[in-house]
């Protein structure tokens, strides 16, 4: 059965019924254009086999479009008023599809997948992300849910440019490098402010990340954290050469240059020219990974790893 999507009039009507005013603290700007949400869902590639994690569903525009695609949706909504309203809106517009919706009243940055009691792990993230938490939310969800294969988000145009920037470009920075630890990133065009209520002062951009089918490097949290530390060091002072930027991490004297050269990185290069593969190689050839565990009597040498989902 076709689900009725929300339009401008219905968005305003819903807000009036709830006596609701969008809150800047939550970055609330609601999409009221059906073609835009269809475009996002189509670009995400999700289908009836997917369990989609949606962040900040708001009044339900994108949620309804995801359900119309046949996907199961877990929506994470921090606003208690919108949390209680979303199932009612879905029921009113789809009649029989509300059983495929699960709504969680929580800050997305605290979602673990275990405390929320998800019946099955998510396979995709599709969201109109609040601008103020966009990058932390993406990185948190990718780290928390290794089952997520696709991330399709609408973010502020400036954030979209940073996420999709290539090494050496003016927009390339910490977010650009860190998201590439997980997969390939590409832009999917711009979105006009006029499709939102209230109308923001900036354009939005669509960005899609596809996780590597087989990661080119280790995916353990400890390894990721050390790579991310190197990324943070490299961009802390962008104008420094890599040799100088990594001096404190590598040690005194010429050790910084030696470590860089061992990773096939010219010490005179600056951080904004280094790819995620460069950062990974730098760690792998530095001799600090894997960490050396202290020897203990009776140690079998076997490691036990527990992963959420």
Give binding residues for S-adenosyl-L-methionine as ranges: 29, 31, 56, 77, 107, 128
Contact at 8 Å (CB) between 71 and 52? yes
Q: Which residues are annotated as a binding site?
A: 29, 31, 56, 77, 107, 128
What is the spatial distance between Cα 35 and Cα 75, in angstroms, rounded to a whole number? Answer: 21
Q: Please tell me the total number of residues recorded for the chain in this structure.
A: 309
Handedness of CA 301, 306, 307, 309 (dihedral sign): positive
Contact at 8 Å (CB) between 181 and 122? no
Count H helices and E strands in the chain, helices first. Answer: 12, 9
| Residue 49 CB burial class (10 angstroms; 0-12, 13-18, ≥19) | exposed
- Please name every residue paired with 150 in a beta bridge, in sequence order, or none if there are none: 124, 210
Q: Are strands 124-128 and 51-55 parallel, antiparallel or unpaired?
A: parallel
Contact at 8 Å (CB) between 278 and 263? yes
């Amino acid at each position: 059965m076709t689900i009725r999507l929300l339009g401008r009039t219905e968005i305003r009507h819903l807000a009036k019924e709830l006596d609701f005013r969008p809150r800047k603290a939550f970055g609330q700007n609601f999409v009221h254009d059906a073609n835009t949400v269809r475009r996002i869902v189509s670009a995400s590639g999700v289908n009836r086999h997917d369990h989609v994690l949606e962040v900040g569903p708001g009044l339900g525009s994108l949620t309804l479009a995801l359900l119309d695609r046949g996907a199961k949706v877990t929506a994470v909504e921090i606003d208690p008023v919108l949390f209680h309203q979303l199932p009612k809106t879905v029921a009113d517009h789809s009649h029989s599809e509300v059983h495929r919706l699960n709504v969680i009243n929580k800050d997305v940055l605290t979602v673990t997948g275990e405390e929320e009691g998800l019946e099955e792990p998510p396979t995709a993230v599709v969201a109109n992300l609040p601008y103020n938490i966009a990058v932390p939310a993406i990185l948190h969800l990718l780290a928390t849910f290794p089952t997520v294969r696709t991330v399709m988000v609408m973010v502020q145009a400036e954030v979209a440019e940073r996420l999709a920037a290539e090494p050496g470009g003016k927009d390339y920075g910490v977010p650009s490098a860190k998201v590439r630890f997980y997969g390939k990133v590409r832009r999917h065009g711009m979105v006009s402010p006029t499709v939102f209520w209230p109308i923001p002062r900036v354009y939005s951009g669509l960005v899609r990340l596809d996780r590597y089918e087989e990661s080119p490097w280790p995916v353990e949290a400890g390894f990721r954290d050390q790579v991310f530390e190197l990324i943070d060091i490299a961009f802390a002072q962008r104008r420094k050469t890599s040799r100088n930027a990594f001096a404190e991490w590598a040690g005194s004297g010429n050790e910084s240059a030696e470590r860089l050269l061992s990773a096939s990185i010219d010490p005179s290069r600056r951080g904004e020219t280094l790819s995620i593969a460069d950062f990974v190689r730098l760690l792998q050839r530095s001799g600090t990974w894997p960490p050396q565990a202290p020897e203990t009597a009776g140690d079998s040498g076997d490691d036990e790893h527990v992963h959420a989902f």
